[in-house]
Amino acid sequence: MSTAENYDIQVSVTTDYITEQSIPEEDRYVFAYTITIENHGKIAAKLQTRHWYITNADNNVEEVMGEGVVGEHPHLQPGESYQYTSGAVIETPVGSMYGSYQMLADDGTKFDAPIKPFTLSIPHALN
């Protein structure tokens, strides 16, 4: 059995622009992102920490590290998923995020679950 088969956490993301909380004239753009974390591996794993890079259109990068997600440390059995919504505030109408979750498998193995880059964008900014 390969390591990839044992430790396979997939992360998908959807985003929303939060008009009510944004103040464009003050360079404040608020986005919500909903993350779905799925354990496609053969071993249960618990999310320990998160590590994000948030980049705005001016190429300013904010690095965020912390324990768990939204105050929780989801423990996912094979085939299980966990979903949460959080937010980000940037100073430009378009930006991006990417990062990883640091996981601890039930067999004691630590591994990273990558979060592919995704776009934060006000409606119609990119099309």
Structural domains of the chain, count:
1
Q: What is the pLDDT of residue 121?
A: 96
The CA distance from 58 to 39, in Å, is 35
Q: Residue 106 in 3-state DSSP?
A: coil
Q: What is the pLDDT of residue 33?
A: 97
- CATH (domain of 29): 2.60.40.1470
Token reading at 32: 């919500």
Q: What is the pLDDT of residue 127?
A: 57
Helix residue spans in the chain (DSSP H): 3-6
The CA distance from 5 to 124, in Å, is 40
Q: Residue 1 — pLDDT band, cuts 50, 70, 90?
A: very low
Burial class of residue 90 (count of CB atoms within 10 Å of its CB; 0-12, 13-18, 19+): buried
pLDDT in tens, 50-81: 999 999 999 999 999 999 999 999 999 999 99
The answer to whether position 9 is within a domain reads: yes
The answer to whether position 123 is within a domain reads: no
Mean per-residue pLDDT over the chain, rounded: 95
Structural domain boundaries, residue 8? 3-118
